[in-house]
Amino acid sequence: QKVLEEAPAPWLGEDLRQAMTAAAVSGAEALGYVGAGTMEFLVDGDEFFFLEMNTRLQVEHPVTEEVTGLDLVRLQLLVAMGEPLPLTQADVQVRGHAIEARLYAEDPAAGWLPSTGVIHRFEPAEGPGLRWDAGVESGSVVSTHYDAMLAKAVAVAPTRREAAGSLARALSGSAVEGVTTNLDLLVDVLGHADFLEQPSTTAFLDEHPELLSRALAS
């Protein structure tokens, strides 16, 4: 399961970024695709490979919105209404850096088992450059019938390090009581030197078992 998502992708060279963008655009054009969609690629060094296309927005679309200033939900509704897009690909500009954390009702120290129950207190921290897309509030019931994600916390700032620090502080200053969550783990990852200073992959948590050890100790 994804833990953190960010835009723009760090340590991705501009030439490779442009090539991936061009591939995504040409792929949609070849299909005659109209509407919101997400092309996914896997990157290996200086190469990238097509993975899949989802014919919808992704959970992580807020990071794209925050660095481009675009309302992707509004744009997809306009297209669905038969309206033309009010911009071209060349008009899309990226400013700053955004990181999104998925806040889950789950126990990282117990094999990521989901946690159920009543959320007695849900108070997300507010502040400049912060965005919460939440599906719960104080009193909400977390059941076994739905995905365990409670909210998405997003921070945008001029630099990646600033965004990570802002998001860590927001999570640390938030209160979620009644169910076990991955909140502390998210804070630990955001402040980890390896995450901040070098490329991170999907093997990050496997390579840093001490993070899960701290979750177990707490």
Does the annotation mark 169 as catalytic? no
SS3 182: coil
Give CB contacts under 8 A, 24+ apart, made by 118-122.
Answer: 118/142, 118/178, 118/179, 119/150, 119/176, 119/177, 119/178, 119/179, 120/177, 120/178, 121/175, 121/176, 121/177, 121/178, 122/150, 122/175, 122/176, 122/177
The sign of the torsion formed by the CA atoms of 65, 154, 5, 61 equals negative
Instruction: Give the per-residue SS3 of 107-172.
Output: EHHHCCEECCEECCEEECCCCCCEEEEECCCCCCEECCCCCCEEEEEEEEECCHHHHHHHHHHHHH
Which one of 17, 56, 160, 214 is the catalytic residue?
56
Q: Match 């290996």 to its residue by tokens.
A: 44
List the one residue out of 127, 152, 126, 151 whose CA is nearest residue 137. 151
> Which residues are catalytic, by number?
56
